Structure 1
Amino acid sequence: MYGWIWRHLPGNTWVRAFCSLVLVLAVVFLLFQYVFPWAEPLLPFNDVTVDGGGS
């Protein structure tokens, strides 16, 4: 998959590296802005139960 993306980016190695960095930053931005807020209520991270039984 990464090879396919690399071959389809325009320019020489430096331009391709810059374009791939921009693509990675765009994906991270989309994940934090849209995907993670949408999925957060579906995840069980806030369902914390503390057992009251001690010694």
Structure 2
Amino acid sequence: MYAALWRLLPGPVWLRILILLVLVAAVLFALFTLVFPWVQSLIPVPDATLEQ
């Protein structure tokens, strides 16, 4: 799978690496801003209190 992705990217090796880093950053940004907050709203978190 990664070899197929590598072959699809244009340009020399340094440009392919740069494109992959930008794609990884975009995916992480989307996960942290859209997906993770949505999933957190679906998971019930009990209110835990500690008594002293």
The two structures have a TM-score, normalised by structure 1, of: 0.74
Q: Mapping of 1:34-49 within 5 angstroms?
A: 34-44=34-44, 46-47=45-46, 49=48
Q: CA RMSD in A?
A: 1.8
Q: Does 1:12 align with 2:12?
A: yes
Q: Which runs of 5+ in 2 are unaligned?
A: none
Distance in structure 1 (CA, Å) of the matches to 2:22 and 2:14: 12
User: Which stretches of structure 1, 4 residues or more, deviate above 6 A after TM superposition?
Assistant: none
Structure 2 CA distance for partners of 1:4 and 1:47, relative to 1, 3 Å: farther
Distance in structure 1 (CA, Å) of the matches to 2:39 and 2:21: 25
- Identical-residue share of aligned pairs (%): 48
Between Structure 1 and Structure 2, whose CA radius of gyration is higher? 1
Distance in structure 2 (CA, Å) of the matches to 1:47 and 1:5: 42
